Amino acid sequence: MEQPDTSGTAALGPSPDKTGLGAAEAAKRLSQDGRNELPQERQRTTARIVLDALREPMLQLLLGAGVIYLFLGDLAEAVILLLAAVMSIALVVVQESRTEKALSALKDLSSPTAEVFRDGMRRRLPAREIVAGDVVVLVEGDRVPADGLLIEATTLEVDESLLTGESLPVRKNVGGADVTDARPGGDDTPLVWSGSLIVRGTGLARITATGLRTEIGRIGKSLNVVESAPTPLQIQTRRLVRVFAVLGLTASVLLAVFHGLRYGEWIKGVLAGITMAMATLPEEFPLVLTVFLVLGAWRMSQKKVLTRRSAAIEALGAVTVLCTDKTGTLTANRMRVSALVVAGEHWSVPDRAGTDLPERFHTLVEFAILASRPDPFDPMERAFHDLGAQFLKQTEHLHPDGVLRHGYPLHPSLLAMSQVWQMGGTAAGVVAVKGAPEAVADLCHLSPGQIIPLREAVAALASQGLRVLAVAQATWSDAVLPETQHGFDFRFVGLVGLSDPLRPEVPAAVMACIQGGVRVVMITGDHPATAAMIATQAGIPSVTVLTGAEMEGLDEAALRTRLATTNVFARIMPEQKLRVVQAFASMGEVVAMTGDGVNDAPSLKAAHIGVAMGGRGTDVARESASLVLLDDNFASLVTAIRLGRRIDDNLRKAIGYILAVHVPIAGMSLLPVLVGWPMVLGPVHVVFLELVIDPVSSIVFEAEGEEAGIMARPPRPPNAPLFDAALLLRGLLQGGVVFLAVLGSFWLGLHDAQGEQVARCMAFVTLVVGNLGLVLTNRSITTSAFKVLTRPNRALILVVIFTLTALALAIGVPWLRELFGFAPLEPWHMAQAVSFALACILVNDLSGVIWRRLAGTGVVSRP
């Protein structure tokens, strides 16, 4: 078969297949069908994205709180809240741009140029100008520019892993296969697909589909219709801030009206209402969430995990199902020689250097290399060369001075290829052949008695998930070479088993997930036997394997039934992978999906958390994912889940603290007005407290370390609200204890000669110190407040120093004391106020011990 010319533009022979389209016809089809590219949707402007973001209730509340503080003259607090709002808008802008970036990345996967035949001439054109009917030249190392049907092929092998997930290249041949409803994957088909990579040989293909009509275009189109699932954080936060905003503002209005009607002092009533609003308005919630997500993203980046969708960080703590691709995710996405067999003797190739290759296997490795190209592109041939470099370096079995005289390519009728070498300037030739075991056995004319043990050896290697090749050798001294490989007198050498090796860190990572209650599911386009073996090696429980063909016959109910017991899915097409992810989500699971290929993009986007590979992954996968593993290390995903659980714990601690600390503030703003006592708290007191509460609830709790055994417990239930009854009750109880302590301190101070001002100062000291006590009580969900004192937290130390210093200034500086409405405290006054605060710390810590014991028995849930 004549091989296509690859040297520029040249006139062609009379073959009609190589004539190609005329320039006029090509221009007509280009006008009708459009360019060979994915149509770029009209991008939303930044202004439009910002306007859409402003509709979010959480952001509206954050901006509203900032405006209120501006109105009250508290510039520092207002600036902090408004900066948080700007940060939130920036995160939304990044998130809303992901789909457009994914479509652009899909366009870049195709070759920017391609060689085609136009008017009988061979020309290189931009790939976007290719049309259906064009004849394109396919050469090793190029990407296929559009879907096509082969009209010529010489030892053509194509890597379709971006579309199918299969780790090995597939053979391509002209004719001989039914192309009706053909899809990527499988050997000896005559179809090539846009975006796939030519790894061996050459060919010609007539284009059948371009642009959006290609297989890769169909995947790109699906990105437009697949919506990212909102995370539990987004859903619950919106509900949370609405409820507290309505309750707080309603209570504030009612209090102002009540005070005005009962006492006739409307100005004081308005002041009381403003104080109540400031005491109850939950502006800390959006601020805390913003800080937690931003700092959480930074912490994950330190662990080689890039966060693209910040809201997914918290959802990591609730992940229940991890759907992982095999190729390039669990495996290294590179071929490796794993086993050698010579004369019935097996030798497993070690993962690390230090072991010598037994002498009897030297010839097998030598001739496997001689049967490969000197500078290979094919991953299997590279594996042979790597093995020789590891074990045969500086031996006579490597032949850098050999001259390749001739090669016999792979053919559908004989799945073996041979190469004839001339060594050391001699006329004698050495012939090496590698290929399918049955083909090499035929070339060696093995007897039935020799074939039986050969088949057993092949079956043993295949059961390990290995791809098996046979190697044979021959010599040739005649000047004229035979026409076919059958003309040589081959002698069988042995078998080689190749694998796409499991990443060494994967088993430990999978075990950590399973121990943490995260179900690991493998979804791959590879063969079921290979998938089952990789799952076994990785430690994924796999009793049965569900194939794509079997899935086609299942309705949604039957699929969900199979999902309950199946952890390995093989021969899965992209739309089926998406269907699995969506089925898990419909069952109430929080789904994380890992992947690196184009075929993973829709499922990455549909999952609650899409995790792409940063090194080997495609741009499409990265742009469609929520998280990107920068080092392609599966173990980094376990680290991300661990960090997600830590963030989840600390977020709940912060929310519990916020709820608790607002109880005494709201109580002391409301009760004195209702019973006719002097006002205890005014706006200035609440602003002081907020300057403490904001950094504590955000920075301090975010910096808390992880709880012991964080990966030895199940994830937070997917349907468990962020603000559940247990957290509500515990926060109210803690806050109620501090409220009683502050109330007792105030009542005691009212009996002093200076009355109101001493009482207000004592109550405020108790409230501030009690606030710090609430921080200690909520720092851990598993141990005592006093035990966590030894746990380092620099942010907490700074906050305590700042708070106590500010409190001392407010009491000791005359003009500040007058501003706060305080009187100087005698030592016994101070001791009484601090004693009330210490008492509430002890009571809350004791209640925490009782609560944890009740939670251990199942009477109450974990706060």
Residues serving a catalytic function are: 325
Q: Which residues pair with 148 in a beta bridge?
A: 192, 207
| DSSP 8-state code for residue 34 | -
Q: CA-CA-CA-CA torsion for 83, 89, 94, 95, nearest 10 degrees?
A: 130
What DSSP string runs through 781-817? Answer: SSS-TTGGGGS--HHHHHHHHHHHHHHHHHHHSHHHH
Q: Is the dihedral angle over the CA atoms 597, 598, 599, 603 positive or is it negative?
A: positive
Angle at 37 between CA 32 and CA 39, to 5 degrees: 80
What DSSP string runs through 471-526? Answer: EEEEEE-SSSPPSSGGGS--EEEEEEEEE-PBPTTHHHHHHHHHHTTPEEEEE-SS
> Which has the closest alpha carbon to 344: 484, 449, 477, 494?
494
> Which has the closest alpha carbon to 514: 727, 319, 297, 279?
319
Q: 188 exposed, middle or buried (CB, 10 Å; 0-12, 13-18, 19+)?
A: middle
Q: 227 exposed, middle or buried (CB, 10 Å; 0-12, 13-18, 19+)?
A: exposed
Joined together, the tokens standing for residue 646 give 């830590």
Tell me how far apart the 2 most distant CA atoms of the chain are, in Å: 123
Cα 337 from chain centroid?
30
Contact assessment for residue 120 and residue 12, using Cβ atoms and an 8 Å cutoff: yes
> Which has the closest alpha carbon to 603: 233, 194, 323?
323
Rounded Cα gap, residues 484 and 471, in angstroms: 17
Q: Determine the residue type at 394.
A: Q
CA dist 86 → 43, 63, 82, 90 (Å)? 22, 9, 6, 6
